[in-house]
Structure 1
């Protein structure tokens, strides 16, 4: 619940705050790569958000929340797990295993950044590899992973907003913990983020996977037939409390 209001403030940011956030642009990511919603696993692994879709006769849904705008007034302390949830979990899932063959696991690429684990893995298949041999390979794997975090990939959207150095360090530390690299749980990094920065991560990295920036405002019947409302319509379709109830 603590992040739901931040989503709304990003969508209303030109009116809500002087903090600079950049607009959401263009089609949803699944539209960009020509994946129909019912034929992709992208954006479906973050968990079940909000109540079930209302039937036309039940529109709009009854509000269940009453959140004060003052909840956006302070910075938020985020962990690497938070950043993973905002930036990665929608596609790669809670445990980082993805949805093969469409969405690859993040676990093996992250484990490849550990020279010690590389040596152990090679010994299990009968190869004599020492740490001196493994260290350069682990560094290469780390560089490849960092490049992916900064630039995205063929089917992986580039991070928007781009990750700061502190955010990358925090996210990478959590990915190492998720991949069960020994000692990673003691190396977690927390960072303080402005409210709109947090909301921007959520909207652009989770919501924008399936929701385009602008477009037709569908009716409840059209939504039941598979149309996805664009982000530009979400705050006009519902009151603040209705919107937050839907998100949660």
Structure 2
């Protein structure tokens, strides 16, 4: 059963014949445990698609439904609450707060949702340990390697038990070897949590870690393909 479904997504900027369509009739569906890469050159619409799927922006036309609830029909306040409770986000630079230790960075979504600090940080420590960061919970971002910091960002995305995790170029700031370690952590952790994963990337090597790929150009999905069933996602990426 699909957890997130988008139909006929259009995102237009401007009016009349000269309007630019960043999205031009895109359909997407996601199932729990599924990983989907969205690829394409700069300007193809992949980041705009992520923003629409995550309820960050409303599409000009079309619908995005999370378990039957239409995100586009929600007010801003309700969509903000939904993003905190149902979605997790991993960005290229991690976007950790430099003054906070790892456990508090990871616990932020819970604390913003009203969970008390002690409970939130205890949950964050558990997630950090599961991602191989046991003993590093008190280190600030400046005391962590790039790969460790991005694992903290993954912990922050997972701490609230989201239904969908969105990752925008999650390894773009990392070297190849560290990037592959982070991709293994990200895809494995999201799959273990039973959530769906959407990865936006321009890199085919990153896309190969996902079970399905949507290739975009000029605001449309021009090709969709799945990883071979006999080859685990991520296989074939050089180290």
Q: What range is the shorter-chain TM-score in?
A: under 0.3
Higher strand share: 2
- TM-score, normalised on structure 1? 0.25
Structure scoring higher RCO (CA < 8 A, sep ≥ 6) equals 1
